[in-house]
Amino acid sequence: MTEMPLQTESLGMPDRPFGRIVRSVFGYSLLMAFMFFPAVVVFLPAVIFHCGIRNGKRATWLALLIGAAIGLSLGAAAANHPGVTSDELRLAYASLASEFLTLALPAMLVLPLLERSASFGNVVVAAVLVAIPGFALTEFGTHALLGGSHYADQAAQFAQMKAIVVANYQHTPGVPAEVVDGVRSSFEVLSKFLPAISVISVIVFFMLSLMMFGRLRAWREFVRTREVSQSTGVYLFRNFSLPDWLLFAFVISGLAPLATGQLQNVALNVLMVVLFLYLLQGLAIFRSLLVTLGISGLGMLFAFFMLAILTATRGIAPILLTIAGLFDSFFDFRKFRRKDDSNESHTD
């Protein structure tokens, strides 16, 4: 498996005047407060990472606490409008708390890994392992403080969406009954994987934030030194490589059919998350091979377009990519590299 070397020196910026640090922390606090809104929460970890590298962990904790207080207050005020039901208000409060516990807090706790330029896969997996207790704490807090269940509220919201989608298909002229039944069955299957879907959303958010952070760091280094070092490529998507021990999680969760009851549901959700991670690794392998072949620009878009066509028509592409990601631990499909494959002109 491909592993990028660790960078031991600090990635922080040179010492700056205290006044500039205060202004920077205040600015990041406002930015973090804005990031708690659902439309842009996807990049909340990126803001935390960038603030941490520029100002240090202590200043970032302060910025996060101030930003969270502002963001949670604004979010709660927006949710608490006339006509809102108690269930909707509980869902809004729990969602804001979940964003803090499953995105902001894990981002802070994995910040030391970024300071050492730990591998892409290690950072993502570490963030997910921290986020999972955050989901549990959100559920416990919703029970204790709001008298309800955040998971039950999400399930009810999902059931409402299912009813709307199925009704739209039923009332669309020319749609066969088999298609409507297929859509209904798909929603019923997905309803069993709501915990896994929540964890997968965290994975996607951290993936995007890390890639943005890597690009911003590379840009700042290039502006400062007019050179691009090897370490700036750590968080390119093509370098996404999972730790070998994740194979044990795949094997153990793969025994889910042998379990029963709640244990089986937990194992199936864990298996879905692990398979999604290996699918991402398969896509990273595909991206790396395209770079190795010198394909970029329109050629890259065409390759991914064909991959999407194969997924939509045959459905076999995700299976093959997941298998490739799984066996990358043994064969290292990305070991054949061109000398210039770390070129930052290749976009991820």
Domain range spanning residue 122? 1-140+199-241
- Give the whole-angstrom CA distance, residue 126 versus residue 122: 6
Domain co-membership, 310 together with 230 = no
Q: Are 256 and 264 in contact (CB under 8 A)?
A: yes
pLDDT at position 8:
39
Query: Is residue 74 a part of any domain in this protein?
Result: yes
Both structure tokens of 229: 């070092």
pLDDT at position 228:
60
* Burial class of residue 86, CB neighbours in 10 A (0-12, 13-18, 19+): exposed
Domain co-membership, 4 together with 18 = yes
Count CB atoms within 10 A of the CB of residue 24.
17
Euclidean distance between the first and the last CA atom of the chain, given in angstroms as a whole number: 20
Nearest to 270 by CA among 259, 254, 247, 293: 254
- Give the whole-angstrom CA distance, residue 324 versus residue 313: 20
DSSP 3-state of 296: coil
Domain co-membership, 74 together with 218 = yes
What is the number of domains present in the chain? 2
pLDDT at position 204:
95
Is the pLDDT reported for residue 339 higher than 70? no
Query: Is residue 171 a part of any domain in this protein?
Result: no
Is the pLDDT reported for residue 182 higher than 80? yes
pLDDT at position 16:
62
pLDDT at position 109:
94
- Give the whole-angstrom CA distance, residue 311 versus residue 317: 5
- Indicate the range of 193-207, 235-249, 310-324 predicted with least confidence: 310-324
Both structure tokens of 95: 């969602």
Is the pLDDT reported for residue 30 higher than 60? yes
Determine what percent of the chain is predicted with pLDDT higher than 90. 28
**pLDDT per residue over 58-92, tens digit each?**
889 999 999 888 888 887 777 677 777 777 788 88
Query: Is residue 281 a part of any domain in this protein?
Result: yes
pLDDT at position 139:
92
Both structure tokens of 136: 């549990």
Domain co-membership, 230 together with 316 = no
Query: Is residue 326 a part of any domain in this protein?
Result: yes
Domain co-membership, 252 together with 234 = no
Residue with tokens 């290039």: 222
Mean of the per-residue pLDDT values for the chain?
A: 83
Is the pLDDT reported for residue 346 higher than 60? no
Q: What is the pTM of this model?
A: 0.84
Out of 241, 275, 308, a domain closes at 241
Confidence of residue 13 (pLDDT cuts 50, 70, 90): very low
Is the pLDDT reported for residue 104 higher than 90? yes
Is the pLDDT reported for residue 340 higher than 50? no
Confidence of residue 15 (pLDDT cuts 50, 70, 90): low
pLDDT at position 277:
95
pLDDT at position 132:
94
User: Regarding predicted confidence, which is higher, 295 or 165?
Assistant: 165
Domain co-membership, 219 together with 333 = no
Query: Is residue 315 a part of any domain in this protein?
Result: yes
Domain co-membership, 322 together with 232 = no
Domain co-membership, 6 together with 111 = yes
Mutual orientation of helices 150-170 and 194-225 as an angle, nearest 10°? 100
- Give the whole-angstrom CA distance, residue 190 versus residue 195: 10
Is the pLDDT reported for residue 171 higher than 90? no
Confidence of residue 336 (pLDDT cuts 50, 70, 90): low
Domain co-membership, 205 together with 72 = yes
Out of 212, 241, 270, a domain closes at 241
- Give the whole-angstrom CA distance, residue 214 versus residue 227: 15
Is the pLDDT reported for residue 3 higher than 70? no
**pLDDT per residue over 249-295, tens digit each?**
999 888 877 777 888 889 899 999 999 999 999 999 998 888 888 88
Nearest to 143 by CA among 202, 103, 97: 97
Query: Is residue 216 a part of any domain in this protein?
Result: yes
Domain co-membership, 255 together with 269 = yes
Both structure tokens of 109: 């706790």
Highest-pLDDT range among 136-145, 167-176, 335-344: 136-145
Out of 241, 270, 303, a domain closes at 241
Query: Is residue 66 a part of any domain in this protein?
Result: yes
Query: Is residue 182 a part of any domain in this protein?
Result: no
Domain co-membership, 91 together with 219 = yes
Is the pLDDT reported for residue 338 higher than 50? no
Domain co-membership, 69 together with 125 = yes
- Indicate the range of 99-108, 125-134, 213-222, 228-237 predicted with least confidence: 228-237
Is the pLDDT reported for residue 10 higher than 50? no
Both structure tokens of 106: 């894990």
Question: Can you list the positions of beta strands (E) in the chain?
Answer: none
How far from the centroid of its chain's Cα atoms is residue 269's Cα? 16
- Give the whole-angstrom CA distance, residue 289 versus residue 285: 6
